[in-house]
Structure 1
Amino acid sequence: MSTVTELGYVGIEASDLAAWERFGVDLLGMQVGSRSNEALTLRMDDAVHRWIVVEGDADDLAFTGFGCATQSDLDAIAARLRAAGNTVTEGDAQLCAARQVQRIVVTSDPLGNRVELYVGLAVADTPFASGRLVSDFVTGAGGAGHQVLIERGMDRQVLLDWYGLLGFKVTDVIDQELAPGIVASVTFLHCNGRHHTVALANMPFPKRMHHFMVEATEISDVGLAYDRCMDAKQPFEMTLGMHPNDRMFSFYVRTPSGFNVEFGWGGLVIDESSWQVQHLDRLSSWGHRPPNLVADLLQA
């Protein structure tokens, strides 16, 4: 069956492009791809962009781009979506030029999140060069990273069925009881060897996306980025910790638009042919504590 192969880029509508440039370049170690009064693109590797930040008031997820290996794969996925009753629109030359892809079609998931399916994301004219990283970002066959979408009360099976049309499969499920009668539930989906590319979360959060994860190839870059964010007084969502399912060592920092970036290292690469779905009862093996709790403990 034809499937998407990667999460190639993510689009954000942001009210402060200058803050996003500082956040992405100075704190996380990305590189500016292009810059104008209306948009900013950020690079993580030799692709022309991985983040597309457009000026606007929403301060939230604007679109997600999933790559397809061939034109026939894109046609097959678009046909499945249409057969299931979804509106799928062929992108014009202007949109292809804006996203710097050979071809693109546009649809929406059941939550109303704009999804762009493309072939042929362009390679930049110059090699990626970070002014902050001592290593590189993990991209390649695993794509740009992963995103965690907020379900907002929707029936999860509806979402699983829809993302299944793109070729996503369940990796595992975590249900953690945070307090009596209050459960945070997340289902993790993969489309390549990266443990998960999309996750669906049933938890209170005001944005469409809880976080987007970026991964470094060396553990020291996690600590260095952690220190840069702390020194810059960038708000944290969670301190250093590790997840039990993808084994990512990471922290969560708040973006200028109010959702989070998880900056990590050591994420699990799975064998899709033999992977067995797991059910776990905790979101973190250790750490990932709220920063105010850590501050209180340290002060005490």
Structure 2
Amino acid sequence: MSGVKELSYVVYEVSDLAEWEHFGVHLLGMEYGEKTANGFTLRTDDKIHRWVLEEGPADDLVASGYEVASDAELDELVARLRDAGLDVTEGDSALTSERQVQRLFATTDPIGNRIELVTGLADAEAPFESKYLLGTFVTGAGGAGHQVLMSKGVSREEYLAFYVDLLGFKISDVIIEEVKPGVFADLIFLHCNPRHHTVALGDMPHTKRTHHFMIEVSDIRDVGMAWDRCLAAHQPFEMTLGMHPNDMMFSFYVKTPSGFAVEYGWGGLLIDDATWEVKTLDRLNSWGHRPASEVASQLHDDYIR
């Protein structure tokens, strides 16, 4: 069955472009791409962009661009979506030019997230370069990274029918943890290439459409250096350094100027579908990833004692 092969780019509507430029370039080590009609883009590899920032009040995800391997597979996927009763609209020349892709069809997932199915995201004219990184960002066959989206009361059966049955994702695993008495984080992780997950969906206490986007680096030292840059800039952290038990990502979570988070990680697990077994885990973190506010409060209490 044809399906998506990677998360190619994300589009966010943000209220403070200047803060986002500082955050993306100077703290995370991305490269400024180009100025657009209502914002700018960010690069993490040799593609023309991976992040598109548009000025506006939402401070949230507004579109996810998923790449399909060929025109024939894109046509097959669009036909399958339409046969399932979904509204699918072909992007005009203005939109394909804006996204820097050859073809684009847009639809909406059951949660209300805009999905852009594309082919041919353009390469940049110059190689990616960041003066802040020792290594590189990990993209390639794994795409831009992964994102965690909130289900907003939509049943798992309904959104899996879209992502698995129609878009072709496969289930990696499930995590259900009681994060507070009577409060559960219940997430399912999906992959469309060897990256452990490209998208995860489920219930967590969170107000945004997106909980976080993960960018991965090839050199573990870059995690520490980004941590230090964010710390020096007093950029609020979501969670401290730690590791997940499913994708084995060593990472920290820092809040963006829009309030959702970026996970900055290294060492993510790759899946071999021939041997992978789907499991249900009972904890989100093997160690660390403590809420930053909790750690700050403990440090304050220890200091005054």
TM-score category by the smaller chain?
A: over 0.9
- 1:220-231 equivalences under 5 Å are 220-231=221-232
Aligned residue in 2 for 1:9: 9
* C-alpha contact (below 8 Å) 1:236/1:253 kept by paired residues: yes
Aligned residue in 2 for 1:155: 155
Aligned residue in 1 for 2:72: 72
State the distance in 1 between where 2:279 and 2:203 align: 18
* CA offset digits 1:123-176 (Å, max 9, x no partner): 000000002111000000000000000011110110011001111011000000
Q: Secondary structure at the match of 2:10?
A: strand
Q: Which amino acid aligns with 2:294?
A: L
State the distance in 2 between where 1:40 and 1:185 align: 34
State the distance in 2 between where 1:102 and 1:166 align: 19
Task: Tell me the CA shift for residue 3 of structure 1.
Answer: 1.1
Task: Tell me the CA shift for residue 37 of structure 1.
Answer: 6.0
Aligned residue in 2 for 1:170: 171
* C-alpha contact (below 8 Å) 1:192/1:272 kept by paired residues: no
- 1:261-276 equivalences under 5 Å are 261-276=262-277
Aligned residue in 2 for 1:295: 296
- Structure 2, unpaired ranges of 5+: none
- Structure 1, unpaired ranges of 5+: none
Q: Please, which moves more after superposition, 28-37 or 60-69?
A: 28-37
* CA offset digits 1:216-239 (Å, max 9, x no partner): 001100000001001100111101
Q: Please, which moves more after superposition, 172-181 or 146-155?
A: 172-181
Q: Which amino acid aligns with 1:272?
A: D
Q: Secondary structure at the match of 2:173?
A: strand
State the distance in 2 between where 1:117 and 1:297 align: 46
Q: Which amino acid aligns with 1:25?
A: V
* C-alpha contact (below 8 Å) 1:25/1:32 kept by paired residues: yes
Aligned residue in 2 for 1:192: 193
Q: Which amino acid aligns with 1:207?
A: K
State the distance in 1 between where 2:182 and 2:103 align: 47
Aligned residue in 2 for 1:125: 125
State the distance in 2 between where 1:130 and 1:283 align: 32
State the distance in 2 between where 1:63 and 1:289 align: 30
TM-score by length of 1: 0.98
State the distance in 2 between where 1:178 and 1:238 align: 14
Task: Tell me the CA shift for residue 116 of structure 1.
Answer: 0.2
Q: Secondary structure at the match of 1:256?
A: coil
Q: Report sequence identity in percent.
A: 60
Q: Please, which moves more after superposition, 174-183 or 37-46?
A: 174-183
Aligned residue in 2 for 1:249: 250
Q: Which amino acid aligns with 1:142?
A: G
State the distance in 2 between where 1:36 and 1:105 align: 21
Q: Which amino acid aligns with 1:48?
A: I
Verify: 1:278 aligned to 2:279, yes or no: yes
Query: RMSD of aligned C-alpha atoms?
Result: 0.9
* CA offset digits 1:64-84 (Å, max 9, x no partner): 000011001111111111111
State the distance in 2 between where 1:36 and 1:196 align: 30
Q: Secondary structure at the match of 2:298?
A: helix
Task: Tell me the CA shift for residue 59 of structure 1.
Answer: 0.6
* CA offset digits 1:61-109 (Å, max 9, x no partner): 0100000110011111111111111000011111110001111100000
Aligned residue in 2 for 1:139: 139
Task: Tell me the CA shift for residue 19 of structure 1.
Answer: 0.7
Q: Secondary structure at the match of 2:228?
A: helix
Task: Tell me the CA shift for residue 36 of structure 1.
Answer: 4.2
**Equivalences, count:** 300
- Would you identify which runs of 4 or more consecutive aligned residues in structure 1 move more than 6 Å? none
State the distance in 2 between where 1:218 and 1:238 align: 20
State the distance in 2 between where 1:264 and 1:20 align: 19
